[in-house]
Amino acid sequence: MVTGAGGFVGRALVPRLVADGHRVTALSRHGNAALPFHATPVERYENAFPLMKGHGCIVHLAARVHVMRDKADNPLQAFWTANTELTLNLARQAAAAGVKRFIFISSVKVNGEQTLPGHAFGADDICAPHDPYALSKFEAEQGLQKISSETGLEIVIIRPPLVYGPHVRANFAALMRAVQRGVPLPLGAINNRRSLVALDNLVDFIALCVRHPDAANQVLLVSDAEDLSTPELIRRMAGAMKTSARLWPVPLWILAAGAAVFGKNEGLRRLCGSFQLDISKTRALLGWTPPLSVDEGLHRALKDGAP
């Protein structure tokens, strides 16, 4: 069973699981609208218990995602209700229904907001969530581990970084549009390293976690296994578009001053800070290697979902 099957990841995951030979029940609050597969419309996931019986594994994708400008009156409560309370409710239902494994797509933001050079986040590091989104995911992880110890339900927690692929939205899509239009970008002097994960790589990893016995009760990080600086990412995007990157080497202190004036410190941190993942545990435990390179992932993102 896949919750949130109509979302960015779900639309790619369900066909992959079917191709792998699984009988898949896809759940979506949006029903079958524009989906390439049948999805059962679910108005409230809290009432999903009757649908769970007979399933061996649930992949829980449904979530309130991180947004840059949250308009909720109480963002922490909104994230907690959608990402913590709902997740734990579903896990309890799954345990009661006899489901063996519950895969939770968390976020590496649970680890923190930025890494120091040469110090990538590891799966077993002490967590340091900062914003309401990351806190809601962290509290869900803790609750799931408690439910697992009480019921025997196998829990698999996957923490991806930024996911890109066909029809990606938000900041990544905005950056792709800027590169495509030849907008001059003042990021040529940035010397950082960031981990990303292509949609197809994430889907491949989730599919492995559905069936691999050693994934049970693990926290696992996933990425493309090639960290890029922001200028290099822009150059790779431009290469995939068969155009030239227009990068200006503006010193970081000037960018920081401008960001402070216009209240864009958070956006600057995302572009200029480092955010690296160490996936050595994932590789060693499950023998997983990303099937797509960064260049292949960018090519697919641009070919099938051009900005």
The residue ranges of every structural domain in the chain are 2-165+196-224+276-290
Beta strands 57-60 and 162-164, pairing class: unpaired
Confidence of residue 12 (pLDDT cuts 50, 70, 90): very high
pLDDT (mean) for 274-294: 95
Catalytic residues: 133
* More confidently predicted of 188 and 118: 188
Closest CA to 224 of 173, 305, 282, 155: 282
| Tokens read off for 101 | 């494994």
Q: Has residue 265 got a pLDDT over 70?
A: no
3-state secondary structure at position 58:
strand
Q: What is the pLDDT, as a whole number, of residue 48? A: 79
pLDDT averaged over every residue in the chain: 88
Beta strands 218-221 and 57-60, pairing class: unpaired
* Cα(187)–Cα(271) distance, integer angstroms: 8
Is residue 93 within 8 A of residue 249, CB to CB? The reply is no
Is residue 97 within 8 A of residue 89, CB to CB? The reply is no
pLDDT (mean) for 13-36: 84
| Tokens read off for 233 | 């990412």
Angle at 116 between CA 111 and CA 119, to 5 degrees: 70
**What is the chain's length?**
307
What is the secondary structure of 267-307 as a DSSP string? HHHHHHS-B-B--HHHHHHH----SS-HHHHHHHHHHHS--
Closest CA to 11 of 141, 130, 116, 167: 167
Is residue 14 within 8 A of residue 4, CB to CB? The reply is no
- CB-based burial of residue 86 (10 Å sphere; 0-12 exposed, 13-18 middle, 19+ buried)? buried
Q: Has residue 219 got a pLDDT over 60?
A: yes
Is residue 14 within 8 A of residue 37, CB to CB? The reply is yes
Q: What is the pLDDT, as a whole number, of residue 254? A: 83
Q: What is the pLDDT, as a whole number, of residue 53? A: 86
Question: Does pTM top 0.85 for this prediction?
Answer: yes
Q: What is the pLDDT, as a whole number, of residue 97? A: 92
Q: What is the pLDDT, as a whole number, of residue 209? A: 97
Q: Has residue 306 got a pLDDT over 80?
A: no
**Which amino acid is residue 70, in one-letter code?**
D
CATH superfamily of 2-165+196-224+276-290: NAD(P)-binding Rossmann-like Domain (3.40.50.720)
Is residue 189 within 8 A of residue 286, CB to CB? The reply is no
Confidence of residue 70 (pLDDT cuts 50, 70, 90): low
Residue spans of beta strands (DSSP E) within the chain: 2-3, 27-28, 40-41, 57-60, 101-105, 154-159, 162-164, 196-198, 218-221
Is residue 61 within 8 A of residue 13, CB to CB? The reply is yes
pLDDT (mean) for 52-63: 92
Q: What is the pLDDT, as a whole number, of residue 262? A: 63
Q: What is the pLDDT, as a whole number, of residue 194? A: 93
Write the pLDDT tens digit of every residue in 223-245. Answer: 999 999 999 999 999 988 888 88
